[in-house]
Chains A and B, each alone.
Chain A
Amino acid sequence: MTVGPVTSPTETQPAEETPAVPGTVIEGRSLGRIAWTRLKRDRVALAGGITVFLLILVAILAPLINKAFGHPVNEYHQDKIDPNLGGIPPVGTWGGISSDFLLGVQPVTGRDLFSQVIYGAQTSLLIAFAATLLAVAIGIVVGVSAGFFGGWLDSLFSRFMDLILAFPLILFAIALISVLPPTRAFRTAVMIVVIGGFSWPYIGRIVRGQTLSLREREFVESARSIGASNFRIIFKELLPNLAAPILVYSTLIIPTNILFEAALSFLGVGVPPPTPSWGRLLSDAVQFYEYDPMYMFVPGMAIFITVLAFNLFGDGLRDALDPKANR
């Protein structure tokens, strides 16, 4: 894992921003290096990071993993369920768990829950990552322009961010998604746009604030005095210094976006079936959980572990990149 932006040592770094306590300024080491050293010592964050890495691998390699340990995603195994019990797996088998079906089977269809969860990771991470990418892109553009140019542009963009944050998020999202056609590709795209479109102000506000303070710093002034264009100042002076907060807050909105995707799927406005999705598995489980709790437990834990891993990693990353910390 590479951690943190490595700004060139000649530039003023956020690490030197608060030399309040004498001796905390470490010279000759880039912020990225310092962060990596700190992160290596933070075992909880490291565990989160490794879990995140493994989850991404699982999502990418889903077809291979599924071939080795699972069954085709939409293959029905009606012999694994008991029609006399209303279609749930036989009692005492923990939701139909066996060496063949590692996480049990879905009620009624008897589909392999392991495959559903593995491919669900793909759906969840794809949408969450794409939405985060979109949010970061919009957040950077709006935040940097608002902070750098100031004036009426800043007022306009700031009010706009307030406006988006004042929207009843989930209400608006389900309402909007439900009036659009529910084909798989289209729904996926709409979910990415909706989730990204509502989460960018979080990035935008951070970037704006950072830009506002960076813009007054000596290195920006010196760049301007030697005749650097706005374009150059933004791309060569500001953005490298914004990389750390952007990285941290992107890592921290990914789990929020994962929960958002799962919530939409839980409410029935996620990716349409048969594409597996953790949120939809949970909403299916509502009718069975009294008798087949494993069916609820498996996707629930999948969401929990994923979100927790991202949160732990993001928190650790924030501490590691925090210029004020002197641990």
Chain B
Amino acid sequence: MAPADGRPMDVTNYILRRVLTSAVLMIIISMVTFGVFFMVPKLAGTNPAELYVGKQATPADVAATARKLGLDQPVTVQYARFAKGLVAGRDFDDGPNKTHCDAPCFGYSFRNDRPVWPLLLDRLPVTISLAIGAAIIWLIGGVLAGVISALRRGGALDRTVMVLALAGVSLPIYFTGLLAQLVFVHTLHWLPGGEYVNFADDPAGWAGKLFLGWVTLALLYAATYARLTRAQMLETVGEDYIRTARAKGLRERTVIAKHAMRSVLTPIVTIFGLDIGSLLGGAILTESVFGLPGIGRLSIDAVNTKDLPVVLGVTLFGALFIVLANFIVDLLYAVIDPRVRLG
């Protein structure tokens, strides 16, 4: 065990190690993703430049794009340029017109005639609105359901919650989403259909449009969280320290809420971080079912129009969120569980 005066050093060390690991992970992911997008079209016998410009392009367009993107260069050179663009910005130059792409340059979409980064930023608020709203519901609902289930183990409530949870994880969102829309939007007319509106323009319309997305997405995750919380709680209440807490005369409520919850929350924090991280990188299915113009929708549209720079950009952006989420989870871990810092 480290002495008290050694503690700050340990924490700094721990954080530094995590920063380094995350950075390395991000670099590897970007290399792999870039490599795959470079190699795969080649293996499949298509000219990557054709994919970048689309089917209607003339051979001259293709050649210009190839030159502009440096697709005639080896993959290492291309990756180096891409990486440089991410940190310092880069210029796309095809002779007659030059396009500058500010840092962080995730690539340039010829479909939209815009760099990828602002496209991502445009869509990000929608995805954040969806993910955060759903996360609040599922975190509270799932953990609460799991705790109550565990405390009433074997009872009718426990069994009902667990059956619902199992049904919840077995229901794909592209089915529940459509069902919910059919009932609440088209049949009962309780919620508005139509386009997504910004929070700033019309808060009620914003919430109305997102509501079903929040609930169906939350249902899916709450089911997983309830199961995990229940299992974790059942394991924890069997531990010696819980018996000790009870033995020294603490109220049951304090034992559960203060002593047991701390260890129950550790795995919850882990998967919560990963889940929110991957959702922020684009909730593809939910966004397509509810017609929400978020990052996931951007990616699907880009795939359908073969807008490869956008596809690559979104994939990397998504990976960035997951790595970032992992990093934050590791930091939170150190706060929740002091053993981590010293290990």
A residues near B (Cβ < 8 Å) are 162-163, 166-172, 174-176, 178-181, 255, 259, 262-263, 266-269, 279, 282-283, 285-286, 289-290, 293, 296-297, 300, 303-304, 307-308, 311-312, 315
Contact = CB atoms under 8 A, between A and B. Distances in A.
A269 B303 contact: yes
18 contacts: A163-B29, A166-B25, A171-B296, A175-B299, A175-B312, A176-B36, A176-B40, A179-B44, A179-B51, A181-B45, A266-B285, A266-B288, A268-B304, A269-B303, A283-B174, A289-B178, A289-B182, A304-B175
B178 A300 contact: yes
B299 A266 contact: no
B175 A300 contact: yes
Contacts of A262: 172, 174
Interface string B135-173: 000000000000000000000000000000011011110
B186 A290 contact: yes
Nearest to B300: A267
B315 interface: yes
Closest 8 interchain pairs by CB? A168-B318, A300-B175, A308-B170, A307-B170, A175-B311, A178-B303, A168-B281, A266-B174
Interface residues on chain B, size class: 35 or more
Nearest to B302: A175
B175 A179 contact: no
Contacts of B37: 175, 179
Interface stretch (B2-10, B78-86, B245-253, B319-327): B319-327
Given A166-B319, A179-B44, A180-B40, A174 B299 contact: yes
Interface in B309-341: 311-312, 314-315, 318-319, 321-323, 326
A326 B289 CA distance: 44
Contact of B174 (A171, A176, A255, A263): A263
Interface string B25-47: 10011001100110011001110
Nearest to A299: B175
Contacts of B174: 262-263, 266, 279, 282-283
A172 B288 contact: no
A242 B170 CA distance: 27
B170 A311 contact: yes
B27 to A, nearest CB: 11
B285 A167 contact: no
A308 B314 CA distance: 32
Contacts of B40: 176, 179-180
A201 to B, nearest CB: 13
Nearest to B308: A179
Contact of B288 (A167, A267, A300): A267
A307 B289 CA distance: 20
A174 B318 CA distance: 13
B183 to A, nearest CB: 10
Contacts of B315: 168, 171-172, 175
Contacts of A170: 284-285
Interface centre among B172, B288, B315 (most CB of A within 10 A): B172
Contacts of B263: none
A253 B51 CA distance: 34
Contacts of A269: 303
Contacts of B326: 166
Given A171-B282, A179-B37, A179-B41, A304 B178 contact: no
Interface centre among A267, A296, A297 (most CB of B within 10 A): A267
B306 interface: yes
Contacts of B306: 178-179
Contacts of A283: 174
B278 A175 contact: no
Given A163-B32, A175-B37, A179-B306, 10 more contacts: A166-B326, A168-B322, A174-B299, A175-B303, A179-B37, A180-B44, A262-B174, A267-B303, A268-B300, A315-B166
A167 B29 contact: yes
B19 interface: no
Contacts of A266: 172, 174, 285, 288
B121 interface: no
Contacts of A290: 182, 186
Given A167-B319, A180-B44, A290-B186, A263 B178 contact: no
